[in-house]
Amino acid sequence: MDILKWLANFIGDSDEKKLKQLQTLITKINALEDSFRSLSDEELRQKTEEFKQRIAKGESEDNLLPDAFAVVREASARTIGLRHFDAQLLGGIILHQGKIAEMKTGEGKTLVATLPAYLNALSGKGVHVVTVNDYLAKRDSEWMGPIYRFLGLSVGVIQSQMSSAERKIGYASDITYGTNNEFGFDYLRDNMALSIEECVQQDVNFAIVDEVDGILIDEARTPLIISGMGEDNQAIYKKADTLARRLVKDLDFTVEEKTKNAVLTEQGTKKAEKLLGIEYLFDINNMETAHQLSQSLRAHHLFEKNVDYVIKDDEILIVDEFTGRLMIGRRYSDGLHQAIEAKERVPIKQESQTLATVTFQNYFRMYKKLAGMTGTAKTEEGEFWKIYGLEVVVIPPNKPLHRENLPDVIYKNKRAKFQAVVKEIEASYKTERPVLVGTVSIEHSELLSTMLTRKGIPHHVLNAKQHGLTSFWVRE
Protein backbone atom coordinates (compact mmCIF):
# COMPACT_ATOMS: atom_id res chain seq x y z
CA MET A 1 0.00 0.00 0.00
CA ASP A 2 1.27 3.49 -0.86
CA ILE A 3 2.52 5.29 2.27
CA LEU A 4 0.33 8.29 1.40
CA LYS A 5 -2.85 6.20 1.39
CA TRP A 6 -1.69 4.44 4.53
CA LEU A 7 -1.26 7.80 6.24
CA ALA A 8 -4.61 9.05 4.99
CA ASN A 9 -6.36 6.07 6.58
CA PHE A 10 -4.82 6.95 9.93
CA ILE A 11 -4.93 10.74 9.96
CA GLY A 12 -7.75 11.64 7.59
CA ASP A 13 -8.20 13.07 4.11
CA SER A 14 -8.14 16.66 5.43
CA ASP A 15 -4.36 16.33 5.85
CA GLU A 16 -3.84 15.20 2.27
CA LYS A 17 -1.81 18.27 1.30
CA LYS A 18 0.51 17.84 4.25
CA LEU A 19 0.92 14.15 3.52
CA LYS A 20 1.88 14.84 -0.09
CA GLN A 21 4.63 17.18 1.14
CA LEU A 22 5.95 14.49 3.47
CA GLN A 23 5.78 11.87 0.73
CA THR A 24 7.89 14.16 -1.47
CA LEU A 25 10.60 14.25 1.20
CA ILE A 26 10.48 10.47 1.64
CA THR A 27 10.91 10.05 -2.13
CA LYS A 28 13.95 12.36 -2.10
CA ILE A 29 15.56 10.45 0.80
CA ASN A 30 14.98 7.10 -0.88
CA ALA A 31 16.40 8.40 -4.17
CA LEU A 32 19.71 9.13 -2.43
CA GLU A 33 20.08 5.67 -0.89
CA ASP A 34 21.99 3.95 -3.69
CA SER A 35 24.46 6.80 -4.16
CA PHE A 36 25.25 7.01 -0.44
CA ARG A 37 25.52 3.23 -0.17
CA SER A 38 28.31 3.32 -2.76
CA LEU A 39 30.41 5.70 -0.63
CA SER A 40 33.28 4.46 1.50
CA ASP A 41 33.10 4.86 5.28
CA GLU A 42 35.40 7.86 5.13
CA GLU A 43 33.45 9.49 2.29
CA LEU A 44 30.18 9.00 4.20
CA ARG A 45 31.78 10.46 7.35
CA GLN A 46 32.96 13.51 5.40
CA LYS A 47 29.33 14.35 4.65
CA THR A 48 29.00 15.67 8.20
CA GLU A 49 31.70 18.30 7.62
CA GLU A 50 30.10 19.18 4.28
CA PHE A 51 26.72 19.68 5.96
CA LYS A 52 28.24 21.86 8.70
CA GLN A 53 29.85 24.10 6.08
CA ARG A 54 26.57 24.42 4.17
CA ILE A 55 24.80 25.48 7.38
CA ALA A 56 27.58 27.95 8.16
CA LYS A 57 27.02 29.52 4.73
CA GLY A 58 23.35 30.04 5.53
CA GLU A 59 21.66 26.93 4.13
CA SER A 60 18.65 25.87 6.20
CA GLU A 61 18.35 22.58 8.06
CA ASP A 62 15.08 21.99 6.23
CA ASN A 63 16.94 22.10 2.91
CA LEU A 64 19.53 19.66 4.25
CA LEU A 65 16.97 17.19 5.57
CA PRO A 66 16.87 14.66 2.67
CA ASP A 67 20.67 14.40 2.50
CA ALA A 68 21.12 14.26 6.28
CA PHE A 69 18.43 11.63 6.81
CA ALA A 70 19.83 9.49 3.97
CA VAL A 71 23.30 9.68 5.56
CA VAL A 72 21.98 8.65 8.98
CA ARG A 73 20.04 5.75 7.47
CA GLU A 74 23.18 4.45 5.73
CA ALA A 75 25.36 4.96 8.82
CA SER A 76 22.83 3.11 10.95
CA ALA A 77 22.79 0.15 8.58
CA ARG A 78 26.59 -0.02 8.64
CA THR A 79 27.10 0.40 12.39
CA ILE A 80 24.18 -1.22 14.24
CA GLY A 81 22.56 -3.14 11.39
CA LEU A 82 19.27 -1.25 11.42
CA ARG A 83 17.89 0.50 8.34
CA HIS A 84 15.20 3.13 8.91
CA PHE A 85 11.85 2.24 7.36
CA ASP A 86 9.80 4.89 5.56
CA ALA A 87 7.47 5.14 8.57
CA GLN A 88 10.49 5.92 10.75
CA LEU A 89 11.65 8.57 8.26
CA LEU A 90 8.19 10.12 8.57
CA GLY A 91 8.52 10.15 12.35
CA GLY A 92 11.91 11.81 12.06
CA ILE A 93 10.52 14.54 9.79
CA ILE A 94 7.70 15.25 12.26
CA LEU A 95 10.19 15.53 15.13
CA HIS A 96 12.43 17.86 13.13
CA GLN A 97 9.42 20.07 12.46
CA GLY A 98 8.94 20.50 16.22
CA LYS A 99 5.86 18.33 16.51
CA ILE A 100 4.83 15.17 18.36
CA ALA A 101 5.03 11.84 16.54
CA GLU A 102 2.57 9.24 17.82
CA MET A 103 3.98 5.83 16.94
CA LYS A 104 2.79 2.42 18.09
CA THR A 105 4.84 0.41 20.56
CA GLY A 106 7.57 -1.51 18.75
CA GLU A 107 7.87 0.92 15.82
CA GLY A 108 11.41 1.91 16.82
CA LYS A 109 11.09 5.40 18.27
CA THR A 110 14.63 5.18 19.68
CA LEU A 111 16.00 4.81 16.15
CA VAL A 112 13.65 7.50 14.81
CA ALA A 113 15.21 10.08 17.15
CA THR A 114 18.65 9.66 15.54
CA LEU A 115 17.44 11.36 12.36
CA PRO A 116 16.40 14.78 13.77
CA ALA A 117 19.08 14.57 16.47
CA TYR A 118 21.84 14.34 13.86
CA LEU A 119 20.36 17.03 11.60
CA ASN A 120 19.84 19.55 14.41
CA ALA A 121 23.25 18.83 15.99
CA LEU A 122 25.02 19.99 12.83
CA SER A 123 24.62 23.63 13.90
CA GLY A 124 26.79 22.96 16.97
CA LYS A 125 24.10 24.16 19.39
CA GLY A 126 23.40 20.77 20.94
CA VAL A 127 20.46 18.39 21.07
CA HIS A 128 18.93 16.87 24.21
CA VAL A 129 17.19 13.49 23.97
CA VAL A 130 15.00 13.15 27.06
CA THR A 131 14.03 9.78 28.54
CA VAL A 132 12.07 8.82 31.67
CA ASN A 133 14.83 7.05 33.63
CA ASP A 134 18.61 6.64 33.89
CA TYR A 135 18.57 3.11 32.47
CA LEU A 136 16.91 4.19 29.21
CA ALA A 137 19.18 7.23 28.87
CA LYS A 138 22.28 5.03 29.21
CA ARG A 139 20.88 2.25 27.03
CA ASP A 140 19.80 4.56 24.22
CA SER A 141 23.07 6.53 24.22
CA GLU A 142 25.09 3.31 24.01
CA TRP A 143 22.78 1.71 21.43
CA MET A 144 22.54 4.71 19.10
CA GLY A 145 25.98 6.14 19.92
CA PRO A 146 27.86 4.22 17.18
CA ILE A 147 25.74 5.96 14.52
CA TYR A 148 26.66 9.45 15.72
CA ARG A 149 30.33 8.64 16.35
CA PHE A 150 30.67 7.00 12.93
CA LEU A 151 29.51 10.30 11.43
CA GLY A 152 31.92 12.36 13.53
CA LEU A 153 29.53 13.67 16.17
CA SER A 154 30.00 13.27 19.93
CA VAL A 155 27.33 11.73 22.16
CA GLY A 156 27.05 12.08 25.93
CA VAL A 157 24.80 10.85 28.71
CA ILE A 158 23.76 12.43 32.01
CA GLN A 159 23.27 10.07 34.97
CA SER A 160 22.03 10.83 38.47
CA GLN A 161 25.30 9.97 40.27
CA MET A 162 27.59 11.97 37.98
CA SER A 163 29.94 14.71 39.20
CA SER A 164 29.83 18.26 37.84
CA ALA A 165 32.93 17.56 35.73
CA GLU A 166 31.30 14.51 34.16
CA ARG A 167 28.13 16.48 33.50
CA LYS A 168 30.08 19.20 31.72
CA ILE A 169 31.51 16.60 29.37
CA GLY A 170 28.03 15.17 28.74
CA TYR A 171 26.50 18.55 27.96
CA ALA A 172 29.44 19.57 25.76
CA SER A 173 28.58 16.69 23.40
CA ASP A 174 26.71 17.29 20.16
CA ILE A 175 23.88 15.00 21.34
CA THR A 176 23.12 14.43 25.03
CA TYR A 177 20.86 11.74 26.48
CA GLY A 178 19.39 12.16 29.96
CA THR A 179 16.23 12.17 32.05
CA ASN A 180 13.79 15.02 32.50
CA ASN A 181 14.75 15.15 36.20
CA GLU A 182 18.48 15.50 35.52
CA PHE A 183 18.05 18.18 32.85
CA GLY A 184 15.70 20.12 35.13
CA PHE A 185 17.87 19.89 38.25
CA ASP A 186 21.00 20.87 36.31
CA TYR A 187 19.15 23.95 35.09
CA LEU A 188 18.33 24.88 38.70
CA ARG A 189 21.88 24.25 39.90
CA ASP A 190 23.30 26.37 37.07
CA ASN A 191 21.02 29.24 38.07
CA MET A 192 22.34 29.00 41.64
CA ALA A 193 26.00 28.86 40.55
CA LEU A 194 28.26 31.67 41.74
CA SER A 195 30.31 31.74 38.52
CA ILE A 196 29.89 30.73 34.90
CA GLU A 197 32.66 28.14 35.38
CA GLU A 198 30.41 26.22 37.78
CA CYS A 199 27.62 25.87 35.20
CA VAL A 200 27.33 22.56 33.32
CA GLN A 201 24.54 23.04 30.76
CA GLN A 202 24.88 24.61 27.33
CA ASP A 203 22.02 26.37 25.53
CA VAL A 204 18.57 24.78 25.67
CA ASN A 205 18.35 24.49 21.90
CA PHE A 206 16.37 21.41 20.79
CA ALA A 207 14.80 18.68 22.92
CA ILE A 208 13.31 15.39 21.75
CA VAL A 209 11.15 14.05 24.58
CA ASP A 210 10.40 10.33 24.73
CA GLU A 211 7.12 9.31 26.44
CA VAL A 212 6.15 12.92 25.89
CA ASP A 213 2.63 12.55 27.28
CA GLY A 214 4.00 11.35 30.61
CA ILE A 215 6.62 14.10 30.94
CA LEU A 216 4.85 17.11 29.42
CA ILE A 217 1.29 16.34 30.55
CA ASP A 218 1.18 13.90 33.49
CA GLU A 219 4.24 15.36 35.24
CA ALA A 220 3.94 18.85 33.75
CA ARG A 221 3.26 20.68 37.01
CA THR A 222 5.54 18.52 39.15
CA PRO A 223 7.95 20.98 40.78
CA LEU A 224 11.65 20.23 40.85
CA ILE A 225 12.95 21.69 44.11
CA ILE A 226 16.47 22.33 45.43
CA SER A 227 16.39 22.82 49.18
CA GLY A 228 18.65 24.07 51.94
CA MET A 229 18.52 23.45 55.66
CA GLY A 230 15.78 25.26 57.55
CA GLU A 231 14.79 25.44 61.20
CA ASP A 232 14.89 22.33 63.40
CA ASN A 233 11.38 21.91 64.88
CA GLN A 234 11.55 18.42 66.36
CA ALA A 235 9.11 19.25 69.18
CA ILE A 236 6.45 20.59 66.78
CA TYR A 237 6.71 17.51 64.50
CA LYS A 238 6.21 15.10 67.41
CA LYS A 239 3.42 17.20 68.97
CA ALA A 240 1.57 17.38 65.64
CA ASP A 241 1.97 13.63 65.10
CA THR A 242 0.60 12.82 68.57
CA LEU A 243 -2.37 15.11 67.98
CA ALA A 244 -3.07 13.69 64.49
CA ARG A 245 -3.35 10.19 65.97
CA ARG A 246 -6.13 11.39 68.33
CA LEU A 247 -8.29 13.06 65.67
CA VAL A 248 -11.06 11.05 64.00
CA LYS A 249 -11.45 11.02 60.21
CA ASP A 250 -14.76 12.48 58.90
CA LEU A 251 -15.57 13.88 62.36
CA ASP A 252 -12.55 15.99 63.23
CA PHE A 253 -11.22 16.38 59.70
CA THR A 254 -11.94 15.49 56.09
CA VAL A 255 -9.57 14.32 53.37
CA GLU A 256 -9.53 15.10 49.66
CA GLU A 257 -7.99 12.16 47.82
CA LYS A 258 -7.60 13.99 44.51
CA THR A 259 -5.64 16.95 45.90
CA LYS A 260 -4.10 14.94 48.77
CA ASN A 261 -5.22 17.49 51.30
CA ALA A 262 -6.63 17.25 54.85
CA VAL A 263 -8.92 19.93 56.34
CA LEU A 264 -9.97 20.27 59.98
CA THR A 265 -13.70 20.53 60.72
CA GLU A 266 -15.01 23.00 63.28
CA GLN A 267 -15.28 20.14 65.77
CA GLY A 268 -11.72 19.05 65.01
CA THR A 269 -10.39 22.58 65.43
CA LYS A 270 -11.97 22.89 68.87
CA LYS A 271 -10.67 19.46 69.86
CA ALA A 272 -7.14 20.38 68.74
CA GLU A 273 -7.27 23.65 70.67
CA LYS A 274 -8.37 21.81 73.81
CA LEU A 275 -5.64 19.17 73.50
CA LEU A 276 -2.99 21.81 72.83
CA GLY A 277 -4.24 24.07 75.60
CA ILE A 278 -4.53 27.13 73.36
CA GLU A 279 -7.36 29.58 72.73
CA TYR A 280 -7.23 29.83 68.92
CA LEU A 281 -5.39 27.36 66.67
CA PHE A 282 -5.15 29.74 63.72
CA ASP A 283 -3.73 32.67 65.68
CA ILE A 284 -0.61 34.05 64.01
CA ASN A 285 1.50 32.67 66.88
CA ASN A 286 0.15 29.14 66.31
CA MET A 287 0.27 29.03 62.51
CA GLU A 288 3.34 26.78 62.44
CA THR A 289 1.63 24.23 64.69
CA ALA A 290 -1.57 24.38 62.60
CA HIS A 291 0.40 23.85 59.39
CA GLN A 292 2.31 20.89 60.78
CA LEU A 293 -0.90 19.33 62.12
CA SER A 294 -2.31 19.46 58.59
CA GLN A 295 0.84 17.81 57.25
CA SER A 296 0.62 15.08 59.92
CA LEU A 297 -2.99 14.35 58.97
CA ARG A 298 -1.92 14.06 55.34
CA ALA A 299 0.95 11.75 56.31
CA HIS A 300 -1.35 9.43 58.26
CA HIS A 301 -4.31 9.31 55.89
CA LEU A 302 -3.10 10.16 52.38
CA PHE A 303 0.45 8.77 52.13
CA GLU A 304 0.73 5.00 52.34
CA LYS A 305 3.76 2.91 53.19
CA ASN A 306 4.97 0.71 50.29
CA VAL A 307 2.84 2.75 47.90
CA ASP A 308 3.98 6.37 48.18
CA TYR A 309 7.18 5.63 50.10
CA VAL A 310 9.27 2.84 51.57
CA ILE A 311 11.40 2.60 54.70
CA LYS A 312 15.02 1.58 54.17
CA ASP A 313 17.72 1.80 56.84
CA ASP A 314 15.47 3.99 59.01
CA GLU A 315 15.01 6.43 56.15
CA ILE A 316 11.85 7.42 54.26
CA LEU A 317 12.42 7.03 50.50
CA ILE A 318 9.85 8.40 48.05
CA VAL A 319 8.52 6.09 45.34
CA ASP A 320 8.10 7.81 41.97
CA GLU A 321 4.39 7.46 41.16
CA PHE A 322 5.11 7.36 37.43
CA THR A 323 8.05 4.92 37.27
CA GLY A 324 7.77 3.01 40.57
CA ARG A 325 11.45 3.68 41.25
CA LEU A 326 12.98 5.05 44.45
CA MET A 327 13.76 8.76 44.30
CA ILE A 328 17.05 8.74 46.20
CA GLY A 329 17.85 12.11 47.78
CA ARG A 330 14.37 13.54 47.15
CA ARG A 331 12.23 14.67 50.10
CA TYR A 332 8.71 16.01 50.44
CA SER A 333 8.65 19.72 51.22
CA ASP A 334 6.92 21.96 53.78
CA GLY A 335 7.31 19.55 56.71
CA LEU A 336 5.49 16.64 55.03
CA HIS A 337 8.57 14.42 54.98
CA GLN A 338 9.12 15.10 58.70
CA ALA A 339 5.46 14.26 59.35
CA ILE A 340 5.91 10.87 57.64
CA GLU A 341 9.12 10.27 59.62
CA ALA A 342 7.23 11.01 62.86
CA LYS A 343 4.39 8.72 61.75
CA GLU A 344 6.78 5.82 61.06
CA ARG A 345 8.89 6.42 64.21
CA VAL A 346 12.14 6.86 62.31
CA PRO A 347 14.73 9.62 63.02
CA ILE A 348 13.30 13.00 62.01
CA LYS A 349 15.67 15.02 59.84
CA GLN A 350 15.82 18.79 59.85
CA GLU A 351 13.31 20.52 57.58
CA SER A 352 14.56 22.18 54.43
CA GLN A 353 13.67 25.44 52.76
CA THR A 354 13.20 25.93 49.02
CA LEU A 355 16.16 27.62 47.32
CA ALA A 356 15.21 27.03 43.68
CA THR A 357 12.26 25.45 41.89
CA VAL A 358 10.87 24.96 38.39
CA THR A 359 8.12 22.79 36.89
CA PHE A 360 8.71 20.56 33.86
CA GLN A 361 6.16 22.63 32.00
CA ASN A 362 8.09 25.87 32.47
CA TYR A 363 11.48 24.25 31.91
CA PHE A 364 10.71 22.58 28.59
CA ARG A 365 8.97 25.67 27.24
CA MET A 366 12.38 27.39 27.34
CA TYR A 367 13.76 25.23 24.53
CA LYS A 368 14.00 27.00 21.18
CA LYS A 369 12.52 23.89 19.56
CA LEU A 370 10.64 21.09 21.26
CA ALA A 371 9.47 17.75 19.87
CA GLY A 372 8.19 14.52 21.33
CA MET A 373 7.27 10.93 20.64
CA THR A 374 5.01 8.40 22.34
CA GLY A 375 2.48 5.70 21.62
CA THR A 376 -0.41 7.71 23.09
CA ALA A 377 -0.57 11.44 22.37
CA LYS A 378 -3.65 12.07 20.23
CA THR A 379 -5.99 12.01 23.25
CA GLU A 380 -3.96 14.86 24.79
CA GLU A 381 -3.66 16.84 21.55
CA GLY A 382 -5.66 19.80 22.85
CA GLU A 383 -3.46 20.19 25.93
CA PHE A 384 -0.25 19.85 23.93
CA TRP A 385 -1.36 22.64 21.60
CA LYS A 386 -2.68 24.93 24.33
CA ILE A 387 0.34 24.62 26.63
CA TYR A 388 3.27 24.08 24.26
CA GLY A 389 1.95 24.88 20.79
CA LEU A 390 2.77 21.30 19.77
CA GLU A 391 0.86 19.52 17.03
CA VAL A 392 0.31 15.75 17.22
CA VAL A 393 0.76 13.66 14.08
CA VAL A 394 -0.11 9.95 14.01
CA ILE A 395 2.51 7.90 12.14
CA PRO A 396 1.23 4.65 10.64
CA PRO A 397 3.03 1.41 11.54
CA ASN A 398 5.57 0.06 9.09
CA LYS A 399 3.38 -3.01 8.58
CA PRO A 400 -0.27 -3.66 9.47
CA LEU A 401 -0.64 -4.57 13.14
CA HIS A 402 -1.31 -8.21 13.99
CA ARG A 403 -1.27 -7.60 17.74
CA GLU A 404 -4.75 -7.91 19.19
CA ASN A 405 -5.61 -5.16 21.67
CA LEU A 406 -8.04 -6.85 24.03
CA PRO A 407 -10.68 -4.95 26.00
CA ASP A 408 -10.36 -4.31 29.73
CA VAL A 409 -11.73 -6.94 32.10
CA ILE A 410 -13.55 -5.75 35.24
CA TYR A 411 -13.78 -7.86 38.41
CA LYS A 412 -16.09 -7.55 41.39
CA ASN A 413 -13.28 -7.29 43.92
CA LYS A 414 -9.49 -7.29 44.29
CA ARG A 415 -9.29 -10.96 45.28
CA ALA A 416 -11.11 -12.11 42.14
CA LYS A 417 -8.91 -9.92 39.99
CA PHE A 418 -5.62 -11.23 41.34
CA GLN A 419 -6.82 -14.84 41.19
CA ALA A 420 -7.59 -14.30 37.50
CA VAL A 421 -4.15 -12.71 36.95
CA VAL A 422 -2.39 -15.68 38.56
CA LYS A 423 -4.47 -18.10 36.49
CA GLU A 424 -3.45 -16.26 33.31
CA ILE A 425 0.22 -16.31 34.33
CA GLU A 426 0.03 -20.03 35.14
CA ALA A 427 -1.42 -20.79 31.70
CA SER A 428 1.40 -18.83 30.00
CA TYR A 429 4.04 -20.49 32.19
CA LYS A 430 2.86 -23.95 31.15
CA THR A 431 3.35 -23.01 27.49
CA GLU A 432 6.80 -21.51 28.28
CA ARG A 433 5.74 -17.97 27.42
CA PRO A 434 7.48 -15.23 29.44
CA VAL A 435 5.18 -12.81 31.25
CA LEU A 436 5.78 -9.24 32.39
CA VAL A 437 3.27 -8.06 35.03
CA GLY A 438 2.88 -4.41 35.99
CA THR A 439 1.24 -3.37 39.26
CA VAL A 440 0.27 0.00 40.71
CA SER A 441 2.08 -0.45 44.03
CA ILE A 442 4.78 -2.39 45.86
CA GLU A 443 2.08 -3.97 48.00
CA HIS A 444 0.31 -5.43 44.96
CA SER A 445 3.56 -6.73 43.44
CA GLU A 446 4.38 -8.54 46.68
CA LEU A 447 0.84 -9.94 46.95
CA LEU A 448 1.13 -11.39 43.45
CA SER A 449 4.57 -12.76 44.32
CA THR A 450 3.11 -14.60 47.33
CA MET A 451 0.32 -16.07 45.20
CA LEU A 452 2.75 -17.18 42.48
CA THR A 453 5.04 -18.78 45.08
CA ARG A 454 2.12 -20.82 46.40
CA LYS A 455 1.51 -22.05 42.86
CA GLY A 456 5.18 -22.98 42.49
CA ILE A 457 5.73 -20.56 39.60
CA PRO A 458 9.34 -19.23 39.49
CA HIS A 459 9.53 -15.45 39.15
CA HIS A 460 11.37 -12.29 40.14
CA VAL A 461 9.95 -9.15 41.71
CA LEU A 462 11.28 -5.83 40.46
CA ASN A 463 9.93 -2.90 42.46
CA ALA A 464 11.18 0.08 44.45
CA LYS A 465 12.50 -2.27 47.13
CA GLN A 466 14.52 -4.31 44.65
CA HIS A 467 15.11 -1.68 41.98
CA GLY A 468 18.74 -2.71 41.56
CA LEU A 469 17.83 -6.24 40.41
CA THR A 470 19.46 -7.01 37.08
CA SER A 471 19.10 -10.78 36.69
CA PHE A 472 15.88 -12.49 35.65
CA TRP A 473 14.75 -16.09 35.81
CA VAL A 474 15.09 -18.09 32.63
CA ARG A 475 13.34 -21.45 32.36
CA GLU A 476 15.67 -24.22 31.23
Residues 104 and 67 reside in one and the same domain: yes
Q: What's the pLDDT at 18? A: 63
Our CA angle for 21, 27, 33, nearest 5°, is 145
Q: What's the pLDDT at 6? A: 53
Q: What's the pLDDT at 257? A: 86
Q: Residue 14 is part of which domain span?
A: 3-224+360-394
Whose CA is closest to 48, among 150, 177, 185, 162? 150
> Quick one: 128 exposed, middle or buried, by C-beta within 10 A (0-12, 13-18, 19+)?
buried
CA–CA distance, 388 with 93 (Å, rounded to integer): 19
Residue 135 lies in a domain: yes
Q: What's the pLDDT at 472? A: 38
- Contact residues for 127 (Cβ-Cβ < 8 A; gap 6+): 116, 117, 120, 121, 174, 175, 176, 205, 206, 207, 208
Residues 325 and 443 reside in one and the same domain: no
Residues 66 and 120 reside in one and the same domain: yes
Among the candidates 319, 350, 381, a domain finishes at 350
HSE (side-chain half, CA atoms, 13 Å) at 189: 16
Q: What's the pLDDT at 474? A: 37
C-alpha of 337 from chain center: 23
- Contact residues for 391 (Cβ-Cβ < 8 A; gap 6+): 99, 100, 381, 384, 385
Our CA angle for 447, 449, 451, nearest 5°, is 70
CATH number assigned to the domain comprising residue 41? 3.40.50.300
CATH number assigned to the domain comprising residue 249? 3.90.1440.10
Q: Where are the beta strands (DSSP E) in 404-446?
A: none
Q: What's the pLDDT at 87? A: 92
Q: What's the pLDDT at 16? A: 52
Residue 471 lies in a domain: no
Residue 55 lies in a domain: yes
- Contact residues for 406 (Cβ-Cβ < 8 A; gap 6+): none
Q: Which residue type occupies 2?
A: D
Our CA angle for 118, 18, 123, nearest 5°, is 20
Element (H, E) at 27: helix 16-31
Q: Which residues pair with 227 in a beta bridge?
A: 354
Is pTM beyond 0.75? Reply is: no
Q: What's the pLDDT at 118? A: 97
What's the domain count of the chain?
3
Per-residue exposure over 438-461, b if at least 16 CB sit within 10 Å of its own CB, e if not: ebebbebbeebbebbeeeebebee
Residues 317 and 376 reside in one and the same domain: no
Mean pLDDT, consecutive 10-residue segments, the chain of 476 residues? Answer: 53 54 90 95 96 95 96 97 95 95 92 97 95 92 97 96 94 96 94 91 93 90 77 82 93 89 93 92 89 94 90 89 76 88 90 82 95 91 93 88 83 92 93 88 86 92 61 36
Residues 147 and 209 reside in one and the same domain: yes
* Three-state helix/strand/coil letters over 57-72: CCCCHHHHHHHHHHHH
CA–CA distance, 111 with 119 (Å, rounded to integer): 14
